[in-house]
Amino acid sequence: MPTLSLDSADDSGIAGDNITNVKTPGFTLNNIDTDVSRVIVEVMHNGIKQEVPLVQTGGQWRFAPTSDWADGDYILTVKVEDRAGNVKQSAPLTVTVDTHIAIDRIELVNDSGIPGDNLTNEARPHFQVTVPADVNGVRLSIDGGKTWFDATQSATSGVWDYTWLTNVANGPHTLMVEASDKAGNKTTQKLDFTIDTILSEPTITLDSADDSAAGDNITNVKMPGFTLGNIDADVTKVVVTVAHDGKNQQIELIKNGGVWRFTPGAAWTDGDYTLTVKVEDKAGNTNYSAPLTVTIDTQTSIDRIELLNDTGIVGDNLTNEARPQFHITVPTDVNSVQLSLDGGINWVNATLTSDGVWEYIWPTDLIENTYTLTVKATDVAGNTATETLNFIIDTTLSTPTITLDSADDSGTANDNKTNVKTPGFIIGGIDSDVTQVVVQVMRDGHSEEVELTQTNGQWRLYPAARGLMATIR
């Protein structure tokens, strides 16, 4: 029985699998008797049969197509006939011609951020390669083919996987994928990808123009501006989270004029606001700023102004001290208290005491007069409040006089001797602002005080007994 075999030189890929990428493969016929007079090779392909008679050449029986075979399966059978008319037929030989190979798809499986941009924040990229089912080898390289790593065939036919075992450096890379099939065909494709595992930490600061006192993050501006910094060029999303009174608000920003800025869309009420910036880049990396707490303070007040050395009637803001002393009570965030007696033309600075009260004592004597004290308080947010206090300096009092009523001065005039048992006395030199007149009467070593009441604009004393010596105070 004759035999037919594909030439080993043309059996590309895996030896003995009868798969070749040669379009005109050669075949060798064996076990042909010497008395054979006729040898025919029958080729069946796509339902069409072709018979090719052979001629022995150089003592060998060989067959090769005279034109290129298209890819596909070919079934070859040898039929021999000898001089006696005996006929024998070989076992059929199926040969596959496969001259094409392809890489259908290369996928960066752990592509992060924007899908399909071949950008990942994973330092160990994972690739999946899709190829025809007859591919029996896939390998990958990221150094231009100097070093290759073999992919592993997955449970899904035609899908091969490889995950880098060590960290790949940040930056752009070119992946080379080489696929080989059973016929020995090879093809190579490239995929550009980028490793990006780094994202800078953003910053957020209150604009200096709105920071009422430089650097304290306290402002009296209801819609303060903020500047964001350290934002990488590949950032695709910037979100500011504002926490206030237990509630969070997230605002996604848009870069404007090359600068990242944030300003509230509506006026903020007084209180503390904590702002945090979250950034995300194309690779899907995220990072957060340190939280920034800003205090909105648009109000201040002056709770109390007190003339500390108020004399006489308590609280009437009248003093006989030529150097008045004032205490001003204000909220704890007030950092400046000033006083003026000339309507704000000239100011003096009060001092904060250990008790938390602001104090000022006039260093020079003030003349007797009615004054208006203006007090201005300024807090750390830059808010100011102004209050006034009217007060009077009164340091003098006229010396009073007491004289025996001339009608009761009997006998010699002006000798202060009288035979009237209830003589009258006239008190003079009493200032109009006097609130109390007391006459002290001394007799026989005993004293008595009599408080007078003004009658018809006059101060008069009518003792109940005679022989009294009177002193007025």
Which CA distances in Å does 57 have to 28, 63, 67, 335?
12, 10, 19, 116
What are the φ and ψ backbone dihedral angles of 41, each rounded to 5 degrees? -105, 125
| Contacting residues for 316 by C-beta, under 8 A, at least 6 apart | 310
Confidence at residue 469, expressed as pLDDT on a 0 to 100 scale: 45
Least confident stretch, 129-143, 198-212, 224-238, 446-460: 446-460
Confidence at residue 470, expressed as pLDDT on a 0 to 100 scale: 42
358: its two tokens: 């602001």
Give which of 290, 228, 223, 282 is closest to 254, Cα–Cα: 228
What does the alpha-carbon distance between residue 450 and residue 463 come to, in Å, rounded to a whole number? 9
Tokens 């009164």 sit on residue: 394
459-461 and 446-451 strand pairing = unpaired
Q: In 43-198, where does DSSP find H-type helix?
A: none
What does the alpha-carbon distance between residue 40 and residue 50 come to, in Å, rounded to a whole number? 10
401: its two tokens: 């006089």
Q: What domains, with CATH codes, occur in the chain?
A: 3-97 (2.60.40.10), 105-195 (2.60.40.650), 203-293 (2.60.40.10), 304-393 (2.60.40.10), 401-472 (no CATH)
Give which of 206, 220, 187, 158 is closest to 383, Cα–Cα: 220
Tokens 């960290």 sit on residue: 167
What does the alpha-carbon distance between residue 246 and residue 440 come to, in Å, rounded to a whole number? 73
Put the strands of the sheet holding 27-30 in their side by side order.
3-6, 27-30, 61-63
What does the alpha-carbon distance between residue 410 and residue 408 come to, in Å, rounded to a whole number? 6
Confidence at residue 468, expressed as pLDDT on a 0 to 100 scale: 45
How long, in residues, is the chain? 473
19-20 and 93-97 strand pairing = parallel
Q: What are 412-467's pLDDT values in tens digits? A: 888 889 999 888 888 988 888 888 889 998 988 898 888 888 888 788 777 654 44
What does the alpha-carbon distance between residue 333 and residue 373 come to, in Å, rounded to a whole number? 22
What does the alpha-carbon distance between residue 308 and residue 314 come to, in Å, rounded to a whole number? 10
- 447: Cα separation from own chain's centroid: 85
Q: What are 107-153's pLDDT values in tens digits? A: 999 999 889 999 999 999 999 999 999 999 999 999 999 999 999 99
The residue type at 250 = Q
First to last CA, the chain: 161
Confidence at residue 464, expressed as pLDDT on a 0 to 100 scale: 56
Higher pLDDT, 270 or 114: 270
| Contacting residues for 411 by C-beta, under 8 A, at least 6 apart | 417, 418, 419
Percent of the chain exceeding pLDDT 90 equals: 81
